[in-house]
Structure 1
Amino acid sequence: MRKFLSSLIAILVVTNMEAQQHAPKLVVCITVDQLRGDYIEYFYNTFGERGFKRLLNEGVVYNNIRFEFSDIDQASAFATLFTGSNPCFSGITGNKTFDFEKEQEISILNDPEYLGNYTKDNYSPKKLFSSTIGDELKIASKGRSDVYAIAPDAEGAIISAGHAANGAFWMDNLNGKWATTTYYKGIPWYVDRYNNGPEALSARLETMVWTPSLPLEKYNAFPYVLDDLPFRYTFKENTANCYPNFKTSPFINKEINRLALQFLEYGAFGTRSCPDMLAITYYAGNYRGILNKEYTREIQDTYYQLDDDISKLLDAIDKKVGLNNTLIVFTGSGYYRSEEEYPDGLMVNGGDFHPKRCVALLNMYLMAVYGQQHNWVKGYYNNQIYLNRKAIEDAKLNLKEIQEKSADFLLEFSGVQHVTTDYALRSGNWNEGTAKFRQGTHHLGRGDLIIELQPGWKVNYDNPKEKVKVIRNNAVITPLVFMGNGLKPQHIYREIKATEVAPTVTHMLRIRPPNATLSLPLKELTVDK
C-alpha cells in the first residue's frame, strides 16, 4: 500500500511539474493603440461574444496598467511594454525627436543607413537601447524561433519586433503597401505576393466606404451626440493624406488582420521546436486625428468593428495553432489623444503658453547675465528647452548653474507647474514629484530644462499651421489580459506597472527577461502561486 501511495504521489508531482513547465508554442501580443478601458465598458452591449467579451471572460484580466511617466505616446508606450523598462533605459522617449541643426522633426527610429522596402522612409531599431521580448526569444532559441510584428505605423511595428526579429511591417503613408526596412533580412514571399497581387489595398480602396455598421439608435453610449445624420467616409488614392486617414479608420484593423492571417496560414507558426511570436497592433483612436471627436458615433463604430476583428483573429489562431498552445497578451498603449472645444461664453481656467516667446525671453535673460556674445538657448521641443551647450562650454561657464538659474526664471511664467533640470535628473537629485520626468526621458537627447504645465493650459506655437495643444493629465484605464495556454479565467482588481508585462511574458516562455527589466513577473502568473 505504501509503495502504491508513493508511486501515486510521484506521478502527481511529475504531472504537476509538467503542467507548470508547459510553454506556449506561439505568443501573440495584441496591443491596441489608444485603447480605453472605459470605452470597452460603455460599448459593451454592442459587442459579440467572441471578441472583447471572450478576452474578459476567458482570460486572466488586470483592470489597469500604469505607466510611470507623462507625455506617453505610441513609441514610448510600446517600448515600455516590450522591453519592461521605462524610457530612461529604453531610449525611446516618443515617436519623434527634433534635429536642431536641420530644424526639422524626425522619427526617433530614423536611420539613413538602411533603405526601405515598399517605402522611401529609412528606419531601424538602433535607437532602442534595451532588448525586447522577441530579442530574448531569438537568443534563447538560437535564432530558430520566428518573430514578426505588424502595425499601422513604423514605430509600433519596429519597437514591438525588436532588434533580432525576422521582420516588422507597417503600412506606408504614400502607397498603402506593407513596408519594412532593409535592417531586417528578407520579406516572406506571401507579403510580396500580397503587396503586388489583386489583394493589394490599392486595388480595393475605392470600394471601401465607412458608414455606420449598426442602426444609429444603437450608438447610444454617449448622451452628448447631437447629430442625427449618419457618417460616410470614402478613400481615394490620389487625394491628400489618403492612407494616413485610412490608418485612423476601422479599415486599418481589417487590413492588419488580412496580413496576420497570411502569416498564420503560411508562416508555420507553432510548428517549430521553439515558440514563435507575432506582435499585432490595432488602432482605436479618433478618425483623421480630429481630437475633438471624442463623443461621436465614429468612435463607437470603431470599437464595434474592432470587437469583430479581435474575434476573427482569435478564431483563426485557435483553428491554426490552438489557443491551448498559444499565449494571448492583450493590452493598450496607456494614452488617448483628445482636446476640448469650448462653447462661446464658457469660462474655464487656463491660458496660452507660448514656447517661442518663452525661449526668446529666457535667451534675453541669459544674455543679460552671461553676455550677449552668444545665443544661449537652442530651442524648445516636447516640453523641453535645449541650451546651447557648445557656447556654454566655449565660454567656460558652469552648465549646472545656468540650468538652475534658467529653471528659476521659467517658474515665473504663468501656467508653469514645475521645472526640473537635466543635471538634477542625472545626479539623482530627484524625488517622487519629479520621478516621472526621470522615468520618461533619456540622458542622451534630453533637454536641459523640462517644463510641466498646469492642466487646461494651451501650448500655442504661434504658427497657424499647428494646432494649439491643450494640456490634459488624465489617466487612461488600460486593461491587460493573458489568455490561452491553459490559463484559468481570473479577474485581478489591482493596478500593475507597464514594466511588469514583458518579464511576465518571458517568464511564461521560460526565458530571460529583457536586459533592462527591473520588474518581476506578475505573481498571479508565476509558477509559485
Structure 2
Amino acid sequence: MFRIITSIVAFFSITAIFAQNPTGEVPKLVVGITIDQLRGDYLEMFKSTFGNKGFNRLLNNGLVYKNVNYDFPYLDKASTITSIFTGANPSYHGITAEKKFLLANNIEISSFHDDNYLGNFTTEKLSPLSIKVSTIADELKIASGGQSDIFAFAPDASQAMAAGGHAASGAYWIENEDAKWATTTFYKTRQPVVEQFNRSQQSLTYTINSISWKPALPIENYKAFPYTKNRYNFQHFFANNIKDNVKKFKESPYVNKEVNDMAIRVLESSSLGTRMNPDYLAVTFYAGNFSGALDKNYSIEIQDTYYRLDQELARLLDKIDELVGLNNTLIFVVSTGYFDENEIIPEGMVTSGGTFYPDRSQALLNMYLMALYGREQWIKKYYNKQFFFDRKLIEDKKIDLIELQQKAAEFLVQSAGVQDVITSYQMLHGAYNQNVQYYRNSYYKGISGDLFLELQPGWQVVEQGSDDHERVRNNAINAPAIFFGKDIKPQKINRTIEVTDIAPSVAYRLRIRSPNASVGEILEELF
C-alpha cells in the first residue's frame, strides 16, 4: 500500500517540482555506476593503495550498504545490471543471461539480438526491446516530457542497453572486433563527439597495438594476498595479432579508462546536469579477474585493477564536481554481485566432488526417455545448466509434457553431482518452496528451458568443445551498494538489501514513478 501511495504522490508532483523549483529539489544529474564483479572484501583488503578521492570518498561520505542480494541463480553482467535498473528479477524483465538459446533455430544469440535494427560501427543487430519492462531512465524520460538527456557507456552491449534502457539519447559499448564505440540504430539520435572520436587516430582501434599493461605501483605495494606465489612485474599486450585482443583488453583496467574517457567527453560536450530537468549518465566499469594472470588464484593483476579503478572513480567524481557540483548530483554505485573465479587446484590434490559432463548427461537422459517414449531425440539442447526438450515432437506424439518433465527430473536427480532438478511446470504452477522460488525468479517463458539443474558445490562442469571449465561455488560475494551526493547523509548500514530496492529508491529521490515491474521497497535511509 505504501508503494502505491508513494507512486501516486510522485506522479502528481512531477510537474510541480520541475516547474516551480528550477534550482531543483531533485538532483540536476543522476550518475549510475555499475561495477561488474566488484567485491566488498577486496575494497577493504586493497584500501591501503587507494587515494582519498575515489573509493574512500564514496565510502567515507556516502550511504554505504554492506551487501546487495540477487535472488536468482547464474548471475552475469546482463541479468544483474538489468535487474539493477528495472527493480525486477529476470522472470519479469526477460534478460536471463548474456546470451540465450533459440530453440526453434537451434542457435545461441545475444539476449539483445533484434533483426529489426542495424548496428552503428558494429555488424551486430541489437536493441533494448528484449527488456520487457521499463527502467529508471525510461521513467525519467517520461516524467521530463522527453527533456532529460540520457547516456550510457559500458564495455559490452548488454551493459549499455540495460543501463540506458529504451529511452537513451545514446547507449554505447566497445565493439569486440575493431574496438570502435558502437551502438544500435534503435537509438535515433547520434552523439557527434562519439562518432568523431571513432574516426580519429586516438580511437582504440588505432591505439590498442601500443597498449601494454604493467603494474602501476611497485609490486611490493600489492601485499593483500599472503598466498600469492608469483610476485612478478607482469606485462600484458593487446596487439591486433593476439587472439581476442579486444576481449582481453576488456578484462584489464584499461577498459575502465576507455569508458571513463568517453563518458567525460559526453558529460562536457552535452552540458549534462545544467538544465531544469535532471539528466542521467550510466557508466559500467570492470573489476573482475584477468584470464591471462600468471597466478590464477591470488594475482597481482586484480590488485592493480582496483588501484587503477580507484583513480578512474576519482577522475569522474572530480569532473562531475567541476561541471555540475557533487551537491547537485545523485550518484549510486552497485556491484553485480558475482565473481568469476580463476581457481586452480594444486597438482596432486584430491578434492571432494567430481566432473559433470553435460553432453554425457544429455545422452543418458535421452536414452532413458527413449526407453519410456520411443526412439526419438527428445532433448534439443543443454544450455546454461538447463535442458531444452523438443516441444514439437512431444506435442506431435501426444505425450504429456508435465509427466515427461517430471520423469526426466527424477532420473537426473540421481546423477552424481546433481543436487536438485526443477521443472518449468514446477516453477510456473507447482508447490513453491524457497529453492523453487529462487529459480522461478530467473525463469522467463519462451527463453528458459524445461529443466533447471542445481549442481553440487565443488563439481567441475566440462562442456564439449569449450575451454572454460567452471567449478561450482555457492558462496556469494560481498557486494556493496553506495549512494553519494545530493542530500545523502553519510552512513554505514550493516544489512543486506535486495537488488530490486535500488531502482525504486533512485526513483523516489528523483520524484518519479518506479519502473513498472519494480518489486522492491524504497530504502528507509533515503526518505
- Distance change >3 Å, CA 290–CA 126, structure 1 → 2: farther
Which of 392, 398, 401 is the equivalent residue of 1:399? 401
* Distance in structure 1 (CA, Å) of the matches to 2:291 and 2:115: 28
- Between 1:103-112 and 1:444-453, the stretch displaced more is 103-112
Q: For residues 326 and 403 of structure 1, what CA distance do their matches in structure 2 show?
A: 52
- The structure that has the greater radius of gyration is 1
User: In the TM superposition, what whole-angstrom CA distance separates every residue of 1:93-119 from its partner, at most 9, and x where no partner exists?
Assistant: 000112345443211111121111111
Whether 2:54 is the aligned partner of 1:54: answer no
Residue 462 of structure 1 corresponds to which residue in structure 2?
464
- Counterpart for residue 439 of structure 2: 437
Alignment RMSD: 1.8
SS at match of 1:436: helix
In the other structure, the counterpart of 1:308 is 311
Tell me whether 1:417 sits opposite 2:419 in the alignment.
Answer: yes
Q: Is the 8 A contact 1:61 1:492 kept in 2?
A: yes
Distance in 2 of aligned mates of 1:215 and 1:289: 20
CA distance in 1, matches of 2:192, 2:118: 19
The question of 1:154 aligning with 2:122 is answered no
The Cα of 1:433 is off from its aligned counterpart by 2.1
| 1:441-452 map, 5 Å | 441-452=443-454
Going from structure 1 to structure 2, the CA distance change for 1:488 and 1:503 (only over 3 Å counts) comes to same
Q: Residue 145 of structure 2: SS of its match in structure 1?
A: coil
Counterpart of 2:232 in structure 1 is: 229
Kindly state the Cα deviation for residue 85 of structure 1 after the two structures are TM-superposed.
0.3
In structure 1, what is the equivalent of residue 326 of structure 2? 323
User: Any gaps of 5 or more consecutive residues in structure 1?
Assistant: 1-16
Once residues 95 and 357 of structure 1 are traced to their aligned partners in structure 2, the CA distance between those partners, rounded to angstroms, is 25
Pair 466,105 (structure 1): closer, same or farther in 2 beyond 3 Å: farther
- Once the two structures are superposed, the pairs formed by residues 190-229 of structure 1 within 5 Å of their partners are 190-229=193-232
SS in 1 for 2:129: coil
Deviation per CA, 1:173-232: give whole Å up to 9, x if none. Answer: 111111000011121111111111232123333332211111111110001112232001
Kindly indicate whether the alpha-carbon contact (under 8 Å) linking 2:291 and 2:342 is maintained by their aligned counterparts in 1.
no
Partner Cα separation in structure 1 for residue 247 and residue 194 of structure 2: 21
Q: How many residues align?
A: 508
- Secondary structure at the residue paired with 1:433? helix
Query: 1:176 & 1:513 partners in 2: Cα distance?
Result: 35
Partner secondary structure for residue 30 of structure 2: strand
Partner of 2:192: 189
Report what 2:276 is aligned to: 273
1:483 matches 2:484: yes
- The whole-number CA distance in structure 1 between the counterparts of 2:212 and 2:394 is 57
Indicate whether 1:493 and 2:489 are aligned. Answer: no
Tell me if 1:359 matches 2:359. Answer: no
Q: Which residue of 2 aligns with 1:7?
A: none
Cα drift, residue 325 of structure 1: 0.6
Unaligned runs of 5+ in 2: 1-19
Aligned to 1:472: 473
How much has 1:170 moved relative to structure 2?
A: 0.2
CA contact (8 A) 1:339 1:470 kept: no
Question: How far apart are the structure 1 equivalents of 2:422 and 2:117?
Answer: 36
Give the drift of 1:345: 2.1
SS at match of 2:264: helix
Per the alignment, residue 505 of structure 1 pairs with 506
Q: Which amino acid aligns with 1:497?
A: E
Q: Report the counterpart of residue 11 of structure 2 in structure 1.
A: none
Q: SS of 1:330's equivalent?
A: strand
* Matched AA of 1:513: S
Once the two structures are TM-superposed, the CA of residue 443 in structure 1 deviates from its matched residue by 2.1
Give 1:302 deviation, angstroms: 0.4
Q: Which amino acid aligns with 1:115?
A: L
What is the CA–CA distance in structure 1 between the aligned matches of 2:292 and 2:401, rounded to whole Å?
40
1:387 aligns with 2:389: yes
Three-state SS of the structure 1 residue aligned to 2:520 is: coil
| Higher deviation after alignment, 317-326 or 104-113 | 104-113
CA distance in 2, matches of 1:276, 1:115: 27
Which deviations, in whole Å up to 9, do the C-alpha atoms of 1:247-278 show, x marking residues without a partner?
A: 11111111111101111111111122211100
Q: Is the 8 A contact 1:24 1:325 kept in 2?
A: yes
Residue 474 of structure 2 aligns to a residue whose secondary structure is coil
Distance 1:514 1:302 in 2: 33
> What's the counterpart of residue 118 of structure 1?
121
1:231 aligned counterpart, secondary structure: coil
Deviation at 1:436, TM superposition (A): 1.2
SS at match of 1:286: coil
> CA-to-partner distance for each residue in 1:497-527, whole Å, 9 max, x for gaps?
000000000110000000001112101102x
Contact 2:228 2:295 in 1 (8 A): no
Per-residue CA deviations over 1:382-423 (Å, capped at 9, x if unaligned) read 111111111111111111111111111111101110111100
Matched, 1:38 2:35: no
Q: 2: CA distance between counterparts of 1:286 and 1:323?
A: 31
In the alignment, which residue of structure 2 is the partner of 1:97?
100
Q: Structure 2 vs 1, CA of residues 172 and 288 (structure 1 numbering), >3 Å: closer, same or farther?
A: farther
**How much has 1:168 moved relative to structure 2?**
0.5
Q: How does 1:129-148 map to 2 (within 5 A)?
A: 129-148=132-151
Pair 1:39–1:56, CA change in 2 (3 A): same
Which residue does 2:4 correspond to in 1? Answer: none
SS at match of 1:113: coil
2:9 is matched with which residue?
none
Report the equivalent of 1:11.
Answer: none
- The SS at the match of 1:97 is strand
Q: Is the 8 A contact 1:35 1:478 kept in 2?
A: yes
* Cα displacement (A) at 1:292: 6.9
How far the C-alpha of 1:126 sits from its partner, in A, is: 1.3
Identity of aligned residues (%): 47
